[in-house]
């Protein structure tokens, strides 16, 4: 009996010690800080594969925690997709959406609804999240290639989001001018549910507003709309080799009092990119 009581007491003392050693959450709920090293987590991906964090082998790795019910997540994800993932996925950024405590079908639905194209890992028990924080989701853990934490975000604050992008640009050795030019792109919004990912970008010197939509798909053709004045379109040419529609657009120096129209085009279904360039 004495031996039993000794082990019970030892267990209680050990539990109390371990609890005391756990880092107290900061004002934002983080139990980690910039400069800490993240564990080499084993991730169950939405596609059923298992990958360790180190296997992404990227100069920048972003763990984007989200949940289907999280309104702030749904607000933030399109910005991550448009301003970080699409411009820099081929330049060394790996983004992993970490779905918090939901079933695979719910995570898949949220991924589709938000337009997320970066890979998703499942954190069904919340164990991954607990390695970094307590409290609510909508967090980004930004890591370098050695899995060292270089930035942390909480909720979707535009100033903090811009700071995160600056840290990523610096880590990738991307100059500010190049980052600004590369970021002047977006994706066509898929209203026809074609599952097509088509980028829309402007290569020029003016400040332009980019918006595009896929309206329908018929007979190997897509009907799309782009926010351009039809009368200012000088040329349009489809390049089969790059699967790109190139549109020459004349910049208008005067003042127009009008809502920017959605000019429609019919393009091949295999189109991957719409490029708008300055034309005279």
CATH number of the domain within which 85 lies: 3.40.30.10
User: Do 271 and 163 lie in a common domain?
Assistant: no
Query: Where residue 258 falls among pLDDT bands split at 50, 70, 90?
Result: low
User: Do 157 and 213 lie in a common domain?
Assistant: no
More confident residue, 256 or 54: 54
Whether residue 55 has pLDDT greater than 70: yes
**69: in domain:** yes
Highest mean pLDDT among 13-17, 73-77, 252-256: 73-77
The residue segments making up the domain with residue 211 are 184-279
Q: Cβ neighbours of residue 133 under 8 Å, at least 6 residues apart? A: 25, 28, 29, 30, 31, 32, 139
Whether residue 138 has pLDDT greater than 50: yes
Among 112-126, 135-149, 166-180, the minimum mean pLDDT is found in: 166-180
User: Do 96 and 174 lie in a common domain?
Assistant: yes
User: pLDDT value at position 12?
Assistant: 44
Count of residues making up the chain: 280
Q: Which of 156, 181, 206 is the last residue of a domain?
A: 181
Among 56-70, 109-123, 187-201, the minimum mean pLDDT is found in: 187-201
d(CA 275, CA 237): 10
User: Do 254 and 265 lie in a common domain?
Assistant: yes
**1: in domain:** no
User: Do 106 and 216 lie in a common domain?
Assistant: no
Whether residue 211 has pLDDT greater than 70: yes
Per cent of the chain over pLDDT 70 is 85
More confident residue, 17 or 276: 276
User: Do 50 and 93 lie in a common domain?
Assistant: yes
Q: Give 172-204 pLDDT, tens digit per residue.
A: 986 544 555 544 678 899 988 888 889 998 887
More confident residue, 180 or 135: 135
Total count of domains within the chain: 2
User: Do 141 and 225 lie in a common domain?
Assistant: no
User: pLDDT value at position 20?
Assistant: 38
User: Do 131 and 76 lie in a common domain?
Assistant: yes
Q: Which of 151, 181, 211 is the last residue of a domain?
A: 181
Whether 175 and 181 have beta carbons less than 8 Å apart is answered as: no
Whether residue 18 has pLDDT greater than 50: no
User: Do 174 and 248 lie in a common domain?
Assistant: no
Q: Which of 181, 204, 229 is the last residue of a domain?
A: 181
The dihedral through the CA atoms of 117, 220, 244, 184 has a sign that is negative
């Amino acid at each position: 009996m004495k031996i039993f009581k000794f082990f019970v007491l030892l267990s209680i003392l050990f539990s109390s010690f371990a609890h005391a050693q756990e880092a107290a959450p900061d004002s934002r709920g983080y139990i980690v800080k910039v400069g800490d090293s993240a564990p080499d987590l084993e991730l169950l991906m939405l596609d059923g594969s298992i990958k360790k964090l180190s296997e992404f082998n990227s100069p920048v790795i972003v763990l984007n925690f989200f949940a289907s019910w999280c309104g702030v997540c749904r607000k933030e994800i399109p910005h991550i997709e448009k301003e970080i993932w699409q411009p820099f996925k081929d330049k060394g950024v790996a983004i992993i959406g970490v779905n918090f405590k939901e079933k695979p079908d719910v995570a898949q639905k949220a991924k589709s609804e938000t337009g997320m194209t970066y890979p998703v890992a499942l954190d069904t028990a919340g164990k991954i999240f607990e390695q970094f924080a307590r409290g609510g989701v909508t967090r980004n853990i930004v890591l370098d290639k050695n899995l060292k934490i270089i930035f942390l975000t909480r909720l979707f604050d535009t100033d903090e989001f811009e700071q995160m992008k600056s840290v990523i640009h610096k880590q990738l050795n991307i100059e500010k001018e190049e980052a600004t030019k590369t970021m002047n792109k977006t994706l066509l919004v898929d209203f026809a549910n074609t599952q097509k990912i088509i980028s829309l970008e402007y290569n020029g010197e003016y400040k332009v507003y980019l918006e595009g939509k896929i309206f329908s798909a018929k007979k190997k053709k897509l009907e799309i709309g782009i926010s351009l004045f039809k009368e200012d379109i000088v040329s349009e040419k489809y390049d089969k080799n790059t699967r790109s529609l190139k549109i020459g657009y004349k910049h208008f120096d005067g003042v127009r009092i009008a809502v920017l129209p959605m000019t429609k085009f019919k393009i091949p279904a295999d189109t991957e990119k719409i490029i708008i360039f300055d034309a005279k």
